Chains A and B, each alone.
Chain A
Amino acid sequence: MTELLEPQRDREQAVAEYRRVRRWGWWYVAEHRIRSMRNYVGSLFIIGIGSPIMYLLGLGAGLGVLVNQNQGDNAVDGVGYLEFIAPALLLAGVMVTAAQESTFGVFGGFKWTPIFLGMRDTALTPAQIVTGFALGTMARYVPAACFYMIAMYAFGIIHGWGGLLMIPIAMLLGTAISTAVMAWVSTQRNDRGQLSFVERFVMTPLTLFSGTYFPLETLHEGLHWVGWISPLWHTAELGRLATYGSEQTLWLTVVHILYPVALAVAGWFLSVRHFTKRLTS
C-alpha cells in the first residue's frame, strides 16, 4: 500500500507510460474484449466447430447431391456445389458474427455495460476504442473461420495452399462489416427493435442475395445491385478465386478487394466521429 501512496510519481515513468498508451491503446481495448469472451468461450467453441460441420454436411450431403445431379456438366465454375458454396458459407458466418458483436456489443458498451464510458475516463482516444473493438471482434470470428477452413480441408473440399487465404479474406470482410455496423449503431441511443431488425432484414438478405448459395448471375438482374453493395459477395468471389481458382478478370479481383477496404476505412472514420461525439458532452 505504501508503494501506492508514493507522493509524486517519477515524471519520466509517467511520460513513458503515456507514450505506450498513445501507441498501444487500441491493443489494450482488444485485450479487454478478449478477456470478456472468456466468459462464454465454451459456447463459442461449440458454435465454432459445430456450425461448419452442420452446414457442410447438411448442404453437401443433401442439397449438394441434388444440385450436382441436376446440373451435371453445367456446374457453376465447373466445380461441385459444395466447392462453390463452402467459401461463401465460411464468410457468411463471419459476417453474421461480426455484425452481431458490433451491434449488441457497441450498443451495450454505451448503455447496458457501459465499458466505453469507462474507457473514456482513461488516456484512451475514441479512435483507439474503435480500432480495439473491431480487433477484439476478430477474436470471435477468426477462430470460427479457422475451424471452417480446417473442416473444408478435412472434407476434401479444398486442396492446396490457396485455402489458407480464406483467413485474411475473412478478416477483410469482418473488418468492413464491424466498422460499418459500428458507425451506425454508435448513433443509436435507444433500442426500439431496430437492432435486431438489422440482423434479420439486412444481414439475412445480404446472405441470400449475395451469391452465397447460387451465383449472382442466377438472380434477376434487378437484384444484382444487392451483390454489388454487399461486401459478402465481393469477398466470396475472392474466396472462390483463392480456393479453386474460379475464373475472374483482374479488374474484378481488384474491385473485390478495394470495395471491402473502402467500406472498412469509411466505416472506421465514421465510427470514430460518432464515438467522439457520444463520449464527449
Chain B
Amino acid sequence: MEKFESLYHALANLDGYIFPNEIVLNWDVLIVMYPYITGLVAGAFILASLNRVFNIEALKPTYVISLLTALSFMLVATMPLITHLGQPFRFYEMLITPHLTSAMAIFGFVYLWYLMVVLLLEIWFDYRYDMVIWSKEKKGFMRFIYKALTLWISDTSVASRKTDDKLGYFITVVGIPSAFLLHGYVGFIFGSIKANPWWSTVMMPVIFLFSAMVSGIALVMFIYMMINFIRKQKNDILCLDTIAKFLFYILIVDFALESLDQIHRIYEADESFDILKILVRGKLFFTFFIMQIGVGTLFPLATIGFFQFYKPKEHIRKIMYLIVSICVLVGIFYMRWNVVIGGQLFSKSFLGFTSYKADLAGGGSALLALLWFIVPFLILAFLLWLLPPWKKAPHVEHIE
C-alpha cells in the first residue's frame, strides 16, 4: 500500500479524466536528465569545434576544457537511462538485438560512434604527444597508464605531431555533424512519438540541437571560470566575451525556433491545442514561462545583448557572465523538464491532467538524477588531473 501512496494521492487530485494507466508517470526526472546531459555534451563539443575548424583564436583557452567536459558528461550520458530501466541489467540487449525501427535502439550506436570515434579520438590526437612526454617523466604505475593511453606509441617527431594535428582536424570536421546527429537524435526520440502531440513535431530535433548548443556553451563558460577560480588564475576576458557572443547568437536562434514552434501550434490549433493551452498556462506556468523563458532565455538575452552595445567594467562582466551561464543552465534544464514531464502531465484522451511529484516513481530517482549530474564533474576533475591542459606542450604550429 505504502508503495502506491503517492499514486493514490495523484488519483485523488486528478483534473478531469485521464486513462487509468497514465496516472503513473513512467518517465521521471531521470529521463529529464538524459537529454539534458547529452545536450551538454553536444554543445560543449560544438564550442570546441568553433575554435578548431572555424579558427576562432579567442576561444583557444577553452578548447581542451570543452573537449574534456564533453567527454566527462558523455561517459555518464546513458546512466540516467539505464538506471531508470525496470530491468537495468538487461540494457545490453539494446546493443545485441537492436530493433532498427526504434529511435532508442539506434541511439545506442549513435552514442558509441560519437564517444569512440569522435570524442575519444579527438582528445587522443590532441594529447598523444603530451602523453608520450608524460610517460617519460613519470615513474611506476602512472608511467604505465600514460604508456597504455598512448597505445605504446612513443613517436615524438614533428612529423608525427603534424599527422596528429591533421587527423584531429579531420575528426573534428566529422565530429560536427556527429554532434548534430547525437542531439538531433535525442530530439527525434521524443519528436517521433505521434501519440503525444506535445512531443510530436518535426521541430523537436532542431530545437533540441540549438538548446543543446546553448546549454553546452554556458556549461563550458561556467567550468572555465570555475577552473580559473580554483587554480587562482585570471580569466581571459576576451575569451569570455567571445563565448558570450556566441551564446547570444545561438540563444536568439534557439528562442526563435521555439517561438516558431509555439506560434505554429497556436495558429494551427489542432485537436490537442485546447489541452496544451491549459497545460502551459496551468501546470507548466512556473517551469515554462518563468524558468525556461524568463530565467533561461530572456534574462540572458537581455544581459548579453546589452553587453554587445555597452561594455561595463571587466569584473562586472565576469560576474554577469557567471550568473548568465548558471541561468542558462537552469533554463535549459527546465526546457527538458517541460518536454519530458510536460508531455506526460496531460492525458492522451485530451480530457485531463495528472500531477507530478518527484517521488511518484519510487523516491530515489530525484537523488539519482542529482548524482548523475554531479558525477561528470568528478570525472572532469579526474581528467583535468590526468591530462592537465595547462601542462600541454605548445601547439605544433608554434614550434616551427
A binds B: no
Residues of A within 8 A of B (CB): none
Residues of B within 8 A of A (CB): none
